[in-house]
Amino acid sequence: MSHWITLPIILPLLSGLILLFGARAGMGVQRAFATIATAGLLAVSLVLLAQSADGDYQVYALGDWAPPFGIVLVLDRLSALLLVVTATLALPVLVYALRGNDAAGKYFHALFQFQLMGLNGAFLTGDLFNLFVFFEVLLIASYALLMQGNGPARARAGLHYVVLNLAGSSLFLFAVGTLYGITGTLNMADLAVKVAELGERDAAVVRAGALLLLVVFALKAALLPLYFWLPRAYAAAQPAVAAVFAIMTKVGVYAILRVYVIIFGVDAGLLANTAWPWLWPLALVTLSLGAIGALAARDLRTLIGYLVVVSVGTLLAGAALATPEALDAVLYYLLHTTLVTGGLFLLAGMVTEQRGAVADRLQPGAPVSQPAVLGGLFLLGAVAVAGLPPMSGFLGKVLLLSAVPPGAQAAWLWSVVLIGGLLVLVALSRAGSILFWRTLDQPAAPARVDGIRLGSALALIAASPLLVVFAAPVTDFTRATAEQLLNPAAYVAAVLGEQSTGTAIAGVAP
């Protein structure tokens, strides 16, 4: 077993502990250590991405306990890709926070590392109980990060966020308890074997547990009707915190893809394709209402929060198609929306600081001190996130719309995606004109754009044109990732090895 697979969890864990117990050290020491640790995490993630490129699975059994009895970590193309996305988002966000956001809380850097640990663990774990554990790690860190700083709006949003996620965690425990009570295992590969062999009586109970899990993952992903907490919570958070939260909903999307393809996918017998009939309509309505919410938003950060909701609807609509072409589009669009949305949250923080008492409210106010720089960056981000050519949002939507076969599904998807994109474009155009053109006849704020903060936002938003320039190798990898994901037999064989012999999972060699 290669020990590299443990580093995305161990590195932020140890870094967080050191920062936690070294909180009395000077802020300069904490900042330097956190930056080195996050840069190291990015390097490790890139190494693991290279190791996963050949399509082989890496399975790490902690304590050398053979699956399904011990804890296993599983690295494939999908988990490696999301590790890289997380680290790529985290480094510019952390650099942005070094310019003062991190001073709002004593333990910001420790919490930031613990959140990265939870995210990476969720992407690597091979069993449902440890998925729950890592969910709790990242959520507890996010609770504290959201509350960094003062203000009644932040307190109210934080309370709603905590209560809803605690309810979701309780449902998660009920769901995994139900699955364990019937199947006797929570290892995903072993569950795939056991679920495929269930009779009608047990299958009915497991179906209830599977749908309960879908509710939990829908809450994490912010799917209708469980998304109403997101825009307010993200708008209330500090810019750096909101930006790193851009990856949080993708954990829910990842969990849906992983669980409902491997465990409840086409080879699940009586429970085959449990989630897709529910996911398709909910995803389309989520996309529609997210676009309407963006159009109705009264401040920039809430608008960007609704853009996250729109992206979730788009991703899960593609996931519900469950074809290699659709999942290829989903993964490409996930890269685009995570990085660009994170950059827009950082940009919103700079705009807010320069508009004085008006902050980011979409009403005329004093002009920003550097409208050409900030306005140009906003235009780049708006074109990308609205899905206009030649940016990656346009290419991602083209891939998705091309993946749906002719028929009723195509009519619905094309209509919702295109009309939703139009509403988002109108919302962003309105916001840009108010923020940068329709200003009051007042002197600009004396503050100037911080070059490091501007560079952090630019680094994330510039991912959009880069994803277009390098579209060929990126889509080659995402297509291979989609094909690997849709072959659960290979996952089962890799994790269980000889124990999978003779199972009902199609394609597992005896």
Q: What are the DSSP calls for 47-65, one per residue? A: HHHHHHTT---EEEEGGGP
The set of residues, in sequence order, having a beta carbon less than 8 Å from that of 229 and lying 6+ positions away, is 157, 160, 161, 164, 222
What are the backbone angles phi and psi of residue 226, rounded to the nearest 5°? Answer: -110, 25
Quote the distance between the C-alpha of residue 234 and its chain's center: 14
Contact between residue 19 and residue 33 where contact means Cβ atoms under 8 Å apart:
yes
Reported as a single tens digit per residue, the pLDDT across 399-436 is: 999 999 888 899 999 999 999 999 999 999 999 999 88
Three-class SS state of 127 = strand
Higher-pLDDT residue of 447 and 171 is 171
| pLDDT at position 3 | 86
The DSSP code sequence of 5-19 is GGHHHHHHHHHHHHH
How far apart are alpha carbons 141 and 200 in whole angstroms?
A: 41
Helix axis angle, 371-386 to 451-461, nearest 10°? 20
| pLDDT at position 485 | 94
For residue 165, what pLDDT band results from cuts at 50, 70 and 90? confident
| pLDDT at position 502 | 36
What single letter denotes the amino acid at residue 376?
G
What single letter denotes the amino acid at residue 214?
L
Helix axis angle, 276-296 to 248-262, nearest 10°? 160
Q: Is the pLDDT of residue 218 over 80?
A: yes
Q: Is the pLDDT of residue 443 over 70?
A: no
For residue 508, what pLDDT band results from cuts at 50, 70 and 90? very low
| pLDDT at position 507 | 33
How far apart are alpha carbons 308 and 253 in whole angstroms?
A: 12
| pLDDT at position 39 | 96
Token representation of residue 251: 């954990």
| pLDDT at position 161 | 83
Reported as a single tens digit per residue, the pLDDT across 231-284 is: 888 888 889 999 999 999 899 999 999 999 999 988 888 888 888 889 999 999
How far apart are alpha carbons 131 and 123 in whole angstroms?
A: 8
Q: Is the pLDDT of residue 292 over 90?
A: yes
pTM: 0.92
Return the half-sphere exposure (C-beta side, CA atoms, 13 A cut-off) of residue 150.
0
Q: Is the pLDDT of residue 500 over 50?
A: no
Q: Is the pLDDT of residue 4 over 50?
A: yes
Q: Is the pLDDT of residue 446 over 70?
A: no
| pLDDT at position 66 | 80
Q: Is the pLDDT of residue 114 over 90?
A: yes
Q: Is the pLDDT of residue 15 over 80?
A: yes
| pLDDT at position 158 | 78
| pLDDT at position 509 | 29
Instruction: Calculate Rg over the CA atoms of the chain.
Output: 22
Out of 36-50, 58-72, 149-163, 187-201, pick the least confident. 149-163
The set of residues, in sequence order, having a beta carbon less than 8 Å from that of 17 and lying 6+ positions away, is 110
Residue 465: is the preceding peptide bond cis (ω within 30°)? no
Q: Pick from 504, 502, 495: which is nearest to 75 by CA?
A: 495
Q: Dmax over Cα atoms in the chain, in whole Å?
A: 77
What are the backbone angles phi and psi of residue 383, rounded to the nearest 5°? Answer: -60, -40
Reported as a single tens digit per residue, the pLDDT across 189-204 is: 999 999 999 888 999 9
Three-class SS state of 111 = helix
| pLDDT at position 448 | 66
Reported as a single tens digit per residue, the pLDDT across 75-106 is: 999 999 999 999 999 999 999 999 877 877 78
Q: Is the pLDDT of residue 132 over 90?
A: yes
Q: Which of 25-29, 228-232, 458-462: highest mean pLDDT?
A: 458-462
| pLDDT at position 157 | 76
- Give me the chain's average pLDDT, please: 89
Please name the residue that has the structure tokens 């519900």. Answer: 320
| pLDDT at position 444 | 60
Q: Is the pLDDT of residue 178 over 90?
A: yes
What are the backbone angles phi and psi of residue 467, rounded to the nearest 5°? Answer: -65, -25
